[in-house]
Structure 1
């Protein structure tokens, strides 16, 4: 499905979105009012310039449109992999992007992300997963690392990782695994204005309720230890 088809399905009341260097920025009309739209397209490998462009758009929205919801459209093959990007401190630029999304949240901007095609590695972790609620289309590909690459990094045999992926979503790629872990709230069969409206309402509640994804992952059987460990750390910190 093309980006324009996705935009038309999500925002039948109208949208004004531009694409420059695979970065999406603009605004759209929904039943709940105007929203800011930003993201990446065409399996973009997010580089320094893209991260700063997205960060700038978030900060501009916070300054000019207080409280306006942020809709992230995610289609990324991950962070750009090159020595030049490392020398430009791409890790710092991605951290800055994540900080800007968190800053917008603290300023009362609800946010949600929709994985439209690909969501890989740091390009997803620093952007789409920073939203209050994340969703994915049914045919979207979501993963942090390919199992063969994970094997090379961890020195765990690929066969063993395949075995672990069969029982634990932490090791398994795919949007369904992220649903079980609580990282993705739900999978949409197709882009829909009605589903977007429901998601916006959920995102508004998430701003006041706080991040519930660890608890969701526990209830779905995908993250059995994270919630208890986080609580233990928080209690220890509070008592220090």
Structure 2
């Protein structure tokens, strides 16, 4: 779904969101409340400049509109793979974006992520996965690595990883597998405005992804390990 159609289904004409290249920013109205909209489009690669522009939009919301909810619209192919961005410190820029989102949450801003097209790798980790809760459209594509790339990194054959992916969501791309693992809280279809309204009202402010993954059978050990660490602290 393109971002124009998405915003129409979420807010009708009650928004002032614009695209500046691959960067989405602006505001929208829902039930009389103003929301800050920050995101990306065009399968954007997240480089230093784009990460910092998103971070600036989040920080401006904190400074100028305390308590305003933030909706992150996610469509990214992951981090920008260019020497220039590596030399400029893409790792720090993306970490800065994640810290800004975390700070917004700590200061009482509701932060909701929505994967409406594609979410890959670090571009997703430092945005939607740091929100209070992240949701997705059923047709969205989410993955960290394709199986061939995973095979090269792990030294496990593609055939073995393909077999593992049939029973274990951790090894498989796909939005349903991220729901099973707890990374995506739920899929939105039908009335998207109603889904956003419900998320703003009821999305947890604590990180319950490990517990969701255990309950859904997608990550069976993470919650138990987290609890053991907390018990030992």
Question: Same fold, TM exceeding 0.5?
Answer: yes
Structure 1 residue aligned with 2:211, among 211, 215, 222?
215
1:235 partnered with 2:231: yes
Give the structure 1 partner of residue 70 of structure 2: 70
Matches within 5 A, 1:18-33: 18-31=18-31, 33=33
Is 2:54 aligned against 1:58? no
Shift of residue 20, structure 1, vs aligned partner: 1.2
Given the superposition, is the C-alpha separation of residues 32 and 155 from structure 1 closer, same or farther in structure 2, using an over 3 Å criterion? farther
Compared CA separation, residues 137 and 117, structure 1 to 2 (3 A): same
Q: Which residue of 2 aligns with 1:160?
A: 160
Post-superposition shift, 1:180?
0.3
1:151 matches 2:145: no
User: Matched residue of 1:35: which SS?
Assistant: strand
Deviation at 1:141, TM superposition (A): 0.4
The 8 Å contact of residues 138 and 190 in structure 1, kept in 2 or not, is answered as no
Question: Post-superposition shift, 1:212?
Answer: 1.1
Measured after TM superposition, the shift of residue 32 of structure 1 is 5.7
Alignment-derived partner of residue 222 in structure 2:
226
Query: How far does residue 12 in structure 1 lie from its aligned partner after superposition?
Result: 2.1
CA offsets 1:39-87 (integer angstroms, 9 cap, x no match): 0001000110000000011011011111111101000000001111111
TM-score (ref. length: structure 1): 0.94
Question: How does the TM-score come out when normalised to structure 2?
Answer: 0.97
In structure 2, C-alpha distance between the alignment counterparts of 1:199 and 1:233, rounded to whole Å = 29
Distance 1:17 1:228 in 2: 42
Give distance in 1, aligned partners of 2:231 and 2:99: 25
**Paired residue secondary structure (1:187):** coil
* Per-residue CA distance 1:139-172 (angstroms, 9 max, x = gap): 1000011010010111111111001101100011
Whole-angstrom distance in 1 between the partners of 2:185 and 2:224: 20
| Equivalent-residue separation in structure 2 for 1:122 and 1:32 (angstroms) | 34
Partner SS, residue 170 of structure 1: helix
The unaligned stretches of length 5 or more in structure 1 are none
CA distance in 2, matches of 1:124, 1:56: 18
1-side partners of 2:69 and 2:8: how far apart? 18
Unpaired runs of at least 5, structure 2: none
Residues in 2 aligned to 1:162 and 1:103: alpha-carbon distance in whole angstroms: 39
Say how many residue pairs are matched.
233
CA positional deviation for 1:126: 0.6
